[in-house]
């Protein structure tokens, strides 16, 4: 399985609206997930080793970002017929087991992943208070294994800067992860 990197940040691109269910059937939208100072939209899944390597750090960072007025939402867009580990039942189990501090939504049609241009898991989109894209980078130096315990918290620092100034950092290192698992057309 080859690792993919998303493209660089397209500064100012508007966030795509969505209306997606969590595994319990509760619907969430762009507006319901956004915080007063911004929004972090994450494309993740259960089975990806890159996501598994960072999930504890991601949960920590999302909890702390909430204190800065930044909302967070995770979206799972993989083909669950081909990857049953990513099924809604398994999404719910994982979210409860790890006490996700953000909604974990199911993009069954894959339309939202396509609209965002998501390419891998994890893929991060950091928006300012006006829901303009300001970050498309990685969480930290982790890859298939967690990076050093003292790794620079790149996503957290970028989102905190965005919350304070509305602007993301000029220098961003792309995330790395498994390709999204698209359904056969």
Task: Per-residue pLDDT tens, the chain, 185 aa: give them.
Answer: 567 778 778 999 999 999 999 999 999 999 999 999 999 999 999 999 999 999 999 999 999 999 999 999 999 999 999 999 999 999 999 999 999 999 999 999 999 999 999 999 999 999 999 999 999 999 999 999 999 999 999 999 999 999 999 999 999 999 999 999 999 85
> What angle (nearest 5°) sits at the alpha carbon of residue 3, between those of residues 84 and 171?
125
What gap in Å lies between CA 32 and CA 49, rounded to an integer?
Answer: 29
Q: Would you list the domain boundaries of the chain? A: 3-179
Nearest to 45 by CA among 111, 90, 103, 109: 90
What is the pTM for the complete model shown?
A: 0.96
Domain spanning 3-179, CATH class: alpha beta
- Is 71 in contact with 103 (CB distance < 8 Å)? no
């Amino acid at each position: 399985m080859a690792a993919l990197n998303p493209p660089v940040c397209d500064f100012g691109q508007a966030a795509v609206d969505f209306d997606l269910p969590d595994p319990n059937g509760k619907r969430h939208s762009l507006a319901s997930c956004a915080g007063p100072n911004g929004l972090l939209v994450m494309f993740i899944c259960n089975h990806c080793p890159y996501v598994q390597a960072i999930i504890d750090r991601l949960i920590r960072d999302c909890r702390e970002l909430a204190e800065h007025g930044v909302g967070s939402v995770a979206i799972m867009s993989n083909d669950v017929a081909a990857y049953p580990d990513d099924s809604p039942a398994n999404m719910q189990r994982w979210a409860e087991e790890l006490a996700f501090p953000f909604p974990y939504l199911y993009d069954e049609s894959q339309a939202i992943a396509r609209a965002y241009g998501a390419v891998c898991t994890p893929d991060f989109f950091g928006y300012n208070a006006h829901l303009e894209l300001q970050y498309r980078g990685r969480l930290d130096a982790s890859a298939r294994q967690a990076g050093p315990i003292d790794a620079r918290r790149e996503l957290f620092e970028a989102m905190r800067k965005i919350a304070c100034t509305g602007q993301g950092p000029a220098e961003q290192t792309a995330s790395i992860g498994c390709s999204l698992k698209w359904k056969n057309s």
